[in-house]
């Protein structure tokens, strides 16, 4: 199964390189309306965001560094 993951990652990275920075931006802009909204709890508005999270209005996840840059 690791071979499939590595092959998929290699194909994705090759495609991201092929479409370039402007193509990646266009792809993100195209898909953004369909993706969930996550909030960085460290730099958010503290209690307001926490209250919204408790009520289930938003999901909060800490920021993680990217494993590999493009």
27, 19 Cβ separation under 8 angstroms: yes
State the average pLDDT over residues 64-69: 54
More confident residue, 55 or 32: 32
Domain assignment present for 6: yes
Give the domain extent around 8.
2-60
Say if pTM beats, i.e. exceeds, 0.85: no
59, 53 Cβ separation under 8 angstroms: yes
Q: What is the pLDDT of residues 15-50, one digit of tens each?
A: 999 999 999 999 999 999 998 887 665 654 555 656
41, 59 Cβ separation under 8 angstroms: no
Domain assignment present for 23: yes
Number of domains in the chain: 1
Domain assignment present for 70: no
Q: Kindly tell me if the per-residue pLDDT of 13 is higher than 90.
A: yes
Q: Kindly tell me if the per-residue pLDDT of 66 is higher than 90.
A: no
Cα angle at 61 between 1 and 53, to 5 degrees? 135
Domain assignment present for 53: yes
């Amino acid at each position: 199964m690791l071979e499939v993951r590595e092959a998929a990652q290699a194909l994705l990275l090759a495609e991201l390189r092929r479409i370039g920075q402007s193509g990646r931006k266009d792809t993100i802009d195209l898909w953004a309306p369909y993706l969930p909204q996550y909030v960085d709890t460290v730099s958010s508005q503290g209690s307001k965001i926490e209250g919204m999270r408790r009520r289930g209005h938003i999901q909060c996840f800490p920021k993680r560094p990217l494993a590999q840059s493009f």
